[in-house]
């Protein structure tokens, strides 16, 4: 299998960490796919009309996207039901946590675009504040509503750790740990997992 993207994307990293956690790291090849916020990539467009990372190309040549679907597919391919159980209540609880974590990444990546990628003078201050507000709201909910679920190894906790890692990587100046000590404790413990270290952020 080929996973297209780069580990500086929180979405790609979530998928790679999942592959490592389910024991598929020897079967999943990370293929670097260059992509900027304004440039397209023909290779990605061949695999997906979305033209976004990540895309997983299966052993049979079938493309799978987006990251949530890829993570679930990797659990299926690895025969792992611990990261995403079949039980309905537990399953949808984890999927909701996964969606929350990916929403955190959406806001964090959006803030990166607004503060670093958009040409000087074209930034939208109101949007920047909106994105920072979304980040803060996600962190608050993770801190107050999800610590029990985060104490387990599942797709939601993987996505949360990768989202927080990207937040540290791109926006350390937000200093989110000061007001979210329990979430910070979770992050430090999860960052120490072999899967997170193997799929480390560039330069980390």
**Coil, strand or helix at 4:** strand
Give residue-wise pLDDT tens across range 18-72.
999 999 999 999 999 876 665 677 888 888 888 889 999 999 999 999 999 999 9
Domain ranges of the chain: 2-77, 88-193
**Global pTM value:** 0.94
Which one has a higher pLDDT value, 74 or 124?
74
What are the phi and psi torsion angles at 2 (to 5°)? Answer: -120, 125
Fold match flag (2-77 vs 88-193): no
Which tens digits make up the pLDDT trace of 132-158? 999 999 999 999 999 999 999 999 999
What class has domain 2-77? alpha beta
Strands (E) across the chain are located at: 2-5, 29-32, 55-57, 63-64
List the beta bridge partners of residue 3. Answer: 30, 56
Q: In CATH terms, is domain 88-193 a member of 3.40.50.20?
A: no
d(CA 132, CA 169): 15
Q: Which residues have C-beta within 8 Å of that of residue 61, sequence separation ≥ 6?
A: none
């Amino acid at each position: 299998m080929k996973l297209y993207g780069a580990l500086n994307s929180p979405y790609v990293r979530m998928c790679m960490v999942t592959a490592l956690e389910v024991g598929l790291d020897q079967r999943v090849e990370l293929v670097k796919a260059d992509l900027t916020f304004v440039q397209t990539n023909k290779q990605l467009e061949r695999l997906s009309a979305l033209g976004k990372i990540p895309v997983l190309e299966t052993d049979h040549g079938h493309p799978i996207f987006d990251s949530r679907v890829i993570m679930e597919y990797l659990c299926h391919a690895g025969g792992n039901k611990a990261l995403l159980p079949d039980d309905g209540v537990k399953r949808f609880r984890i999927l909701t946590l996964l969606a929350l974590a990916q929403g955190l990444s959406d806001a964090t990546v959006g803030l990166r675009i607004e503060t670093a990628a958009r040409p000087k003078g074209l930034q939208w201050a109101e949007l920047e504040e909106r994105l920072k507000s979304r980040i803060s709201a996600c962190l608050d909910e993770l801190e107050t509503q999800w610590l029990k679920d985060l104490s387990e190894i599942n797709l939601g906790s993987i996505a949360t750790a990768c989202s927080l890692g990207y937040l540290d990587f791109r926006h350390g100046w937000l200093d989110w740990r000061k007001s979210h000590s329990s979430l910070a404790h979770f992050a430090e413990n999860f960052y120490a997992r072999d899967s997170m270290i193997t799929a480390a952020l560039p330069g980390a």
